Amino acid sequence: MRGIRSSGYMILPFCALFYFCGNAYSADTVSNGDFMGELKELKKIIARQEKRITELENQVRAYQSEMDRQCVVLEKHDEVIKNEHLQDLSARLNRELEGLKNICGLEIGAGITAVGQGTPNANNGDATDGEDSRFDGSYSVDLSIAKTFEDYGMAFIHTEAGQGDTIEGELSVFSNVNRDAGESGAHVDITEAWYEHYFLDNQIVFTAGKIDASGYIDTNEYANDECTQFLGHIFRNSAVIDWPDDNGLGCSFYLAPEGLDFISAGAVYMDEDGDWENLFDNPFIAAQLNFMPAEAFDYDAEMWGGNYRVIFWYNGAPHARVKNPDDFERGNTGFGISCDQMITDICGVFGRFGWADPDRNDIGYDWSVGGRVSGRHWGREEDVIAVAVGQAIPGEDYKDVNGFDNAETHLEAYYSCRVNEHFTLTPDMQVIWEPNGGGTISGEDSDTIFVYGIRSQIDF
């Protein structure tokens, strides 16, 4: 811009010389007064140009300053979201945080999930119309808003509304088929509202507010998000964990010691019944220890990343004994493992196992295994095909009381087709053998339930 200013002053003598020479040969004689008037007018024009150039320079500086500020904001946003990924969070919560976009200083994300599911052999005798063949739908709308505070914390609000439960009400099973179903009558609920603070260069993370325990416990890379992965409950989380009745007041603690990048630990404390009364009478307490072999043995995490978790949980609410429903006693305990492991950069496998006190739970054990492959080899790198199988196994007390001693077996397969950057369509198939341990209708092969469906996911 300095060169532009200088050129203005250089033009002046040339313009004057041109004017003088051009008029020297004219028939009319120009007086010195006229010449000086023209020269003054040229000076005014150049002064206006200089003023305009200065204004433009100031605008460029202001624009550059705003761009620099926005870059700093985005860098801080990316840094905080990166910090979130360092935690061992659920795949669902990670996806929501990753999808946030910075808008006027706030991180905002939204999504719509719609599910249609049908079955030719619904087995719930209490179904309202008695029809065996069904096809029903459900939807949920999620809106997430977050605010990052430099590099030391973040506030997060998650609101949700939904209607319908597809065919879940038509089935009598230990573990149902649509984890996304959340009938709220289309009313908007605040499902999460918490603040998170980082200590000691992100080695310690403390979160408090209205939280979802499943966002921090029993996490898994490939089977932990009903909106993009498996729909069946047994593949979203262990079927034996006695989760709180609802999201409620609680806190979580995460520890990732410096120098021990291959290990992390997390814990959750919550009000079990979620009613915000007598907050410490019925606690839900859970802890999770995660070992990451790629970091421990210095393998390529892009090729061999994996997590091996051990989980313990305790639900302090009164529980009826399976053999004596009138006998209530506080406390229900269990433990489990949850693992995921990359085999190649496009293929991964997972596994879960859970145990719960058979004196207080219908299901004594559960397990599940599965895998997923991206579509790179058939030219669809963003697509995913996945399959999983698992069992919910009745406890000994349940077998003694009900006489149903078969494991309820689940098979689920889906193909996630990325239509575009914002829209994904996923055909899904589930088969359930021996529902309720064989305790429906006759317990023969005719009780096998086949579920077909499709899920659409729109991310804003």
Structure confidence by residue, pLDDT tens digits, 62-100: 877 767 666 655 565 566 556 565 688 888 888 888 888
The total number of structural domains in the chain stands at 2
- Tell me the per-residue pLDDT of 328-337, one tens digit each, with 9 for 90 and over: 888 899 999 9
Domain boundary among 67, 82, 98: 67
pLDDT for residue 342 is more than 80: yes
At residue 415 the predicted structure's pLDDT band, cuts being 50, 70 and 90, is: very high
Q: Is the same domain home to 353 and 449?
A: yes
Least confident of 9-23, 98-112, 368-382, 384-398: 9-23
Q: Is the same domain home to 118 and 237?
A: yes
- Return the pLDDT at 131: 64
Count of CB atoms within 10 A of residue 382's CB?
14
Q: Is the same domain home to 60 and 110?
A: no
Residue 190 lies in a domain: yes
- Return the pLDDT at 305: 92
Residue 73 lies in a domain: no
| Cα 146 to Cα 188: distance, rounded to the nearest angstrom | 18
Residue 150 lies in a domain: yes
Average pLDDT score, the chain: 86
Residue 89 lies in a domain: no
Burial of 130 (0-12, 13-18, 19+ CB in 10 A): exposed
Least confident of 42-46, 207-211, 312-316: 42-46
Q: Is the same domain home to 117 and 59?
A: no
Domain boundary among 67, 92, 117: 67
Q: Which of 315, 233, 333, 234 is nearest to 270 (CA)?
A: 315
Kindly report the backbone phi and psi dihedral angles of residue 233, in degrees, each rounded to the nearest multiple of 5, phi listed first.
-60, -40
Q: Is the same domain home to 414 and 339?
A: yes
Q: Is the same domain home to 38 and 122?
A: no
Kindly report the backbone phi and psi dihedral angles of residue 346, in degrees, each rounded to the nearest multiple of 5, phi listed first.
-120, 0
At residue 125 the predicted structure's pLDDT band, cuts being 50, 70 and 90, is: low
β-partners of residue 111 are: 142, 459
- CATH number, domain with residue 346: 2.40.160.10
Residue 354 lies in a domain: yes
Residue 19 lies in a domain: yes
- Return the pLDDT at 279: 81
- Exposure pattern of 210-239 as b/e (b: 16+ CB <10 Å)? bbbbbbbbbbbbbbbbbbbbbbbbbbbbbb
Residue 82 lies in a domain: no
At residue 327 the predicted structure's pLDDT band, cuts being 50, 70 and 90, is: confident
Burial of 38 (0-12, 13-18, 19+ CB in 10 A): middle
Range(s) of the domain holding residue 50: 2-67
Q: Is the same domain home to 34 and 146?
A: no
Most trustworthy range by pLDDT among 128-142, 236-250, 438-452: 236-250
Residue 75 lies in a domain: no
8 A C-beta contact, residue 234 and residue 112 = no
DSSP string across 130-179: --S-EEEEEEEEEEEEEEEETTTEEEEEEEEEEE--TTGGG---SS-S-T
At residue 443 the predicted structure's pLDDT band, cuts being 50, 70 and 90, is: very low
